[in-house]
Chain A
Amino acid sequence: MTTGELLLTAWQSDVFVYAVAAAGVVAYAARMQWKLTLRALWLALAAAVFLLAFVSPIGVLARGYLFSAHMLQHLLLVLVIPPLVLSALRTGSKEAPNSTGAPGAAGTAGTAGAPGARRFVLPWLAGVSAMWLWHAPTLCDAASNSIGVQRLQTVSLLIMGCAFFWPIVGPRTARRLPPFGAMVYLFAACVACTLLGILVTFSPVEVCSIYAHPVDGLGAMPLLRDGWGLTAKADQEIGGLLMWVPGCFAYAGGMLAMFARYHREEAADELAAKEAA
């Protein structure tokens, strides 16, 4: 088997995946009262990424072949799809500046502390445990041995990912963290995931034993092991590095977006203050 053949043939159909995607789209449309706005593009994008993660070779290889493909799928579910979904959910009314209250913005500066620690502690824990829990060897094996657990994993990752991003890009702007708080939030999550990435990369222990000895139904193993040079150890290393380096860049990108948001909001406030005067 060549790489080209693999990319052409390793596609799969999964009713469960279609069902989740369809349910998501229908639920969204119902919530938007069946009115199509430009914002729905975000949801379309999210659904497309979701399908790609399961139906394409990424999904096929993630199922028992490559830990790194599994990790890529995992990152898409936690770090890419949730912010897309939440961006789609935001309603237009947010744009009115007076909805956030007084200018001068409570959003100004400052690390954590004051209001409602509950608002971000649980979401943060959800986002971080989405990464950590499913990479405990026992749970990782359980998910690869049972299709039921695997589906539970998929859904829980999506939910935990959405919970994590809720305080940042959640639809209710007033309930979001102020930009600098959001930066601290993202940075702390980045540290937690980096640690996991480091452990997975350098760990002598197999995170998920199924990837060490795949059952090769496709006949792709010779290509993966010899053609691509992915030994089980190399595969796990790449998985760890995916979480560590690009994963971290995703959080870093989020932090920069928050910084930009601060400047945008602050500039609007300054303008408002000037006009008031």
Chain B
Amino acid sequence: MTTATTPHVDDGKHEQGHDHAEEKGPFSWVATVDHKRIGILYLLTSIVFFGIGGIEALLIRIQLAHPESHFLDPETFNQIFTMHGTTMIFLVVMPTLVGFANYFVPLMIGARDMAFPRLNAMSYWLFPLGGALLHFSLFAGGAPSAGWFSYAPLAETPFSSNTGTDYWILALLVLGIGSVAGAINIIATVITLRAPGMTIRRVPLFVWMTFITAILIVLALPVLNGALVMLLIDRQLDAHFFQAHGGGSVILWQHYFWTFGHPEVYILALPAFGMISEVIPVFSRKPIFGYEFVAGSTVAIAVLSFGVWAHHMFAAGLGHRADIAFAAGTMLIAIPTGVKIFNWIATMWGGTLRFTTSMCFAVAFLIEFVIGGLSGITFAAAPVDWQMTDTYYVVAHFHYVALGGTLFGILAATYYWFPKMSGKLLDERLGKLNFWTMIIGFNMTFFVQHFLGILGMPRRVYTYPDLPNWGTLNMVSTIGAFVMGFSVLLFLVNIAKSVRNGKAAGDNPWDAWTLEWATTSPPHPHNFEKVPPVRGRRPLWDLANATKEGKNKRKSGGTSTILEIAPYDKAIVGVWAFIASEAMFFIILILTFVYFNLSTKAAAASLDVKTTGMFSICLFASSFTLHRSEKALAAGNESGFRGWLIFTILLGAVFMFGQASEYQKLFTSGLSVNTSLFTSTFFTLTGFHGLHVTLGLCALGVILWLAFAGDFKGRRHSSAFKAIGLYWHFVDIVWIAVFGIVYVRNVL
């Protein structure tokens, strides 16, 4: 059995090409590409932003503690709740989940590192950069104040004239790019780096759910990025995508935002589901009940999450028909989520429960998340939504999901995995105190907000009149918030104390069965001395029982039961995920073009279809020449490879020249991005396509340079070249769509 595992470990060593010798000193943390250190960096940075977002939350609660308060003025209040929402979602919860994924996904699948360690480091460093951009707005004239979803037209220049929203856009773009890069990395890691025997059917549920989350990120974030780009063009270049007075559509922003925003809800929830799915079985001493159903319902949630965004817009006036369709879809999502809840309960049923702090938080998760889920279902009924939308009932609902769900999941995971990361156990007594104060504080803060919402208290308003019970309920909520704040302090104290002089954890303090517990705590830089054989979903359990139940059984389970993992090239998998992401980005841009130009033929007058057609042929031909180049390389014909490659680059350059001359002609005839909706959509779409072609040309140029440097000598396959080739073909296919929709349709 060892023979089956060692090749894999070796593979890792050679492929990564960097030796994880023990790195020391602060600079080693800055320069690190070790997934565990990057994971810890993610978590530590998240804690800093959690502090900032938490203080913002307390400021909001102080302001709302009693009626007609003037502790904060309205503008500051707007800025604070905007920053609180944005910070907590993009700078705390998402990076925390990515941090855990970074640390544990490779360990749990028996890999040595992520698929692309350097890309991983880049993803991380984009995170503090995004956070810094967002907070720099404070020094540049004021923080953003249009809310975390920045509805148009409020977020447009006439209503948000300071630079806050611009920084908000830039920060989210940077964070979005980092998240997509991180997600691509996770996808490639899970597909290509699993240890022998670790079939998809056997991966721990945390890995599976993180994998599905990564797919959601890859598909959903580009939608936000596309919308952000258009908002930025509105604000900086005076276009009118989302402004009614120029013919744009304010509702379109809501559609785009929630097309991203609803999957985002599951991006925040699914990894927490995964954490719970690890913690509950271990502390119930039972395997998860209905693994297939927990895994399958995750797929169902992910797919459905893209089809229900309009339930955030029931009050926007989409019409009865649309409301009914989306109400039905929304209620459907409750089914796979309910399946999970029942599976977790059934896992605990009849188990030998150990109520460690981790398990306490997991059980609390079940209860609080069900409350948040049920109040969510009440919103699925459009009439209830009309009554409750934009009241504190919504605030209560999503905090029960985001805190009672995700945060409790994260806390359960922290108490569960902290020993692995630090080698020290967290203090259980402080932990229990942390738990109870958190439960009391959380429910005090948010449960009463259900009533406030039903009483009609609007959210996002800086103060409220002295109506019966409003003051009391708000005061209860504020006190609860401070109890929660105290609980968070206890948590931080616990971490600080335990890191310094906590009890030593040992390799496997919980007697758990997934692979991360097979190595030392904390793990070596190279993770495993030897990856244990994987013959089921609980490899360490299998191992322990095999040795217990006699050697004959171990003998009988020879190498033959280790299932081979189909080998996939990580560069190819990575580039496919990237292409999927880019496709979503272009779909948004194309959809916007179609939406605004469907009934007009404004384009016909200004576009020269024939000339652009000629240049387009060059681009299409370049796909063919690139294919010849690949063929030549595979045949070992190096000069052919280089020749076709040069030809490809030339064809691409000719196309770009054609684009530039068309732009030149349009500019001289007085058309620019802010002239009309046609020009806005045209320049945005073709401009971004041109940018992608240019990047493709740069990448091909690098390949050519390497080819002349002799890098491809004697190599008949290069996955890097193939990956860039796929990207190039993709850019061509996008142009087929763009050319057909923008140019040809106008001639017909």
A109 within 8 A of partner (CB): yes
Contact A237 B322 (CB under 8 A): yes
A113-B573 contact in complex given A104-B564, A245-B326, C-beta closer than 8 Å: yes
Q: Which of A89-97, A143-151, A256-264 has 4 or more CB atoms under 8 Å from chain B?
A: A256-264
Known contacts A237-B319, A266-B200; A195/B561 CB under 8 A: no
Cβ of B599 under 8 Å from chain A: yes
Residue of B299, B300, B572 near A113 (CB, 8 A) is B572
The 8 A CB mask of B281-299 against A (1 = contact, 0 = none) is 0000000000010011001
Q: Does B191 contact A (CB under 8 A)?
A: yes
User: What's the least CB distance linking B417 to chain A, in Å?
Assistant: 26
Given the complex, which residues of B lie within 8 Å of A106, measured CB to CB?
A: 566
Q: Is B328 an interface residue (CB 8 A)?
A: yes
- Residues of B within 8 Å of A187, CB to CB, are 303
Whether, in the assembled complex, B341 has its beta carbon less than 8 Å from a beta carbon of chain A, the answer is no
Q: A19 at the A/B interface (Cβ < 8 Å)?
A: no
Which residues of chain B from 322 to 363 have a CB within 8 Å of any chain A CB?
322, 325-326, 328-329, 332
- Name the contact of A266 in the complex, choosing from B199, B568, B599 (C-beta under 8 A): B199
Q: Are B307 and A194 in contact (CB under 8 A)?
A: yes
Say yes or no: is A110 at the interface (Cβ < 8 Å to chain B).
Answer: yes
Which residues of B (304-331) have their CB < 8 Å from a CB of A?
Answer: 304, 306-307, 319, 321-322, 325-326, 328-329
Residues A204 and B201 in contact in the complex (CB < 8 Å), given A241-B321, A274-B561, A277-B561: no
Evaluate contact between B200 and A276: CB separation under 8 angstroms.
no
Taking CB atoms, residues of chain B closer than 8 Å to A195 are 587, 591
Q: Which of B552-560, B646-654, B656-664 contacts A (4 or more CB under 8 A)?
A: B552-560
Of all chain B residues, the one with the shortest Cβ separation from A186 is B303
Check A60 for interface membership: any CB of B closer than 8 A: no
Q: Is the CB of A108 within 8 A of B565?
A: yes
CA distance A244 to B307 in the complex (A): 8
Residue of B nearest to A204 (CB): B599
Given contacts A273-B561, A277-B558, contact A262 B200 (CB under 8 A): yes
Q: Smallest Cβ distance from B396 to chain A, in angstroms?
A: 28
Chain B, residue nearest A241 (CB): B325
- CB within 8 Å for A256 and B300 given contacts A106-B566, A245-B328: yes
B200 lies within 8 A of A108 (CB): yes
Query: Chain A contact residues: over half helix, strand or loop, or mixed?
Result: helix
| B433 close to chain A: CB less than 8 A | no
Does B598 sit within 8 A of A, measured CB to CB?
yes
Encoded as 1 (CB less than 8 Å from any B CB) or 0, chain A from 225 to 259 comes to: 00000000010011001001100110110011001
A259 touches B299 (CB 8 A): yes
| A203 interfacial contact with B, CB 8 Å | yes
Q: How many residues of A contact B (CB 8 A)?
A: 47
B556 & A277 in contact (Cβ 8 Å cutoff): yes
CB-defined interface of B563-590 with A at 8 Å, one 1/0 digit per residue? 1111011001100110000000001000
Given A259-B296, A276-B560: A244 and B566 within 8 A (CB)?
no
Q: List chain A residues, Cβ under 8 A from B304.
A: 249, 252
Q: Cβ of B455: which chain A residues have Cβ within 8 Å of it? A: none
Give complex CA distance A262, B296 in Å. Answer: 11
CA of A252 to CA of B336, assembled, Å: 12
Interface residues in A169-211 (C-beta closer than 8 Å to B): 180, 183, 187, 190-191, 194-195, 198-199, 201-205
In the assembled complex, how far is the CB of residue B397 from the closest CB belonging to chain A, in whole angstroms? 23
Interface centre among B296, B303, B306, B328 (most CB of A within 10 A): B303
Chain A min CB distance to B590 (Å): 9
Q: Closest CB-CB distance, A245 to chain B, in whole Å?
A: 4
Give per-residue flags for B540-559: 1 if the beta carbon is below 8 A from chain A beta carbons, else 0. 00000000000000001110
B332 to chain A, nearest CB (A): 7
Tell me how far the C-beta of A88 lies from the nearest C-beta in chain B, rounded to whole angstroms.
Answer: 26
Which residues of the other chain, B, contact A244 by a CB distance below 8 angstroms? Answer: 307, 325
Question: Which among A112, A199, A204, A245 has the highest number of chain B CB atoms within 10 Å?
Answer: A245
Taking a contact as CB atoms under 8 Å apart, the answer to whether A108 and B292 are in contact is: no
Task: Determine which of B296, B321, B326, B595 lies in contact with A260 in the assembled complex, contact meaning CB atoms within 8 Å.
Answer: B296
Contact B566 A108 (CB under 8 A): yes
Q: Is A267 an interface residue (CB 8 A)?
A: yes
Q: Which residue of B lies closest to A260 (CB)?
A: B296
What is the CA–CA distance of A227 and B556 in the complex, to the nearest angstrom?
Answer: 73
Q: How far is the CB of B184 from chain A (nearest CB, A)?
A: 12
Cα(A273)–Cα(B576), bound, Å: 32
- CB neighbours of A252 from chain B (8 A): 300, 303-304, 307
Tell yes or no: A100 within 8 A of B by CB.
no
Closest A-chain residue to B748, C-beta based?
A138
Asked if B558 contacts A256 (CB within 8 A), the reply is no
Contacts of B299 in A (CB 8 A): 183, 255-256, 259
Assuming A238-B321, A244-B325, is B598 touching A204 (CB within 8 A)? yes
How distant is the Cα of A241 from the Cα of B598 in the complex, in angstroms? 19
Task: Find chain A residues with CB under 8 A from B303 CB.
Answer: 187, 190, 248, 251-252, 255
Distance of B302 from chain A, by nearest CB (Å): 9
A269 at the interface (CB under 8 A from B): yes
Name the residue of chain A whose CB is nearest to the CB of B584.
A191
A111 near B: Cβ within 8 Å? yes
Residue of B nearest to A179 (CB): B200
A109 touches B566 (CB 8 A): yes
- Would you call B200 and A109 a contact (CB within 8 A)? yes
Query: Any chain A CB within 8 A of the CB of B594?
Result: yes
| Chain A residues in 8 Å Cβ range of B326 | 245
Inter-subunit contact B325/A245 (CB<8 Å): yes
Q: Which residue of A lies closest to B594 (CB)?
A: A199
Docked Cα-Cα span, A189 to B26, in Å, equals 49
B292:A263 contact, CB within 8 angstroms: yes
- Please indicate the chain A residues that have their CB under 8 angstroms from the CB of B321 in the complex: 234, 237-238, 241
- A and B contact pairs by CB, cutoff 8 A, 29 listed: A104-B564, A106-B566, A108-B199, A109-B568, A111-B573, A180-B200, A183-B299, A187-B303, A202-B595, A237-B322, A238-B321, A241-B322, A245-B307, A245-B329, A249-B307, A251-B303, A252-B307, A256-B300, A259-B299, A263-B201, A263-B292, A263-B296, A266-B200, A267-B201, A270-B563, A276-B560, A277-B557, A277-B560, A277-B561
Residues of B participating in the A interface, judged by any CB pair closer than 8 Å? 191, 199-201, 292, 295-296, 299-300, 303-304, 306-307, 319, 321-322, 325-326, 328-329, 332, 556-558, 560-561, 563-566, 568-569, 572-573, 576-577, 587, 591, 594-595, 598-599
Name the 7 nearest CB pairs between A and B, nearest first: A252-B303, A266-B201, A245-B325, A241-B325, A277-B560, A108-B566, A237-B321
**Besides the contacts A199-B595, A241-B321, what 5 more A-B pairs have beta carbons closer than 8 Å?**
A199-B594, A202-B595, A245-B328, A263-B201, A277-B557
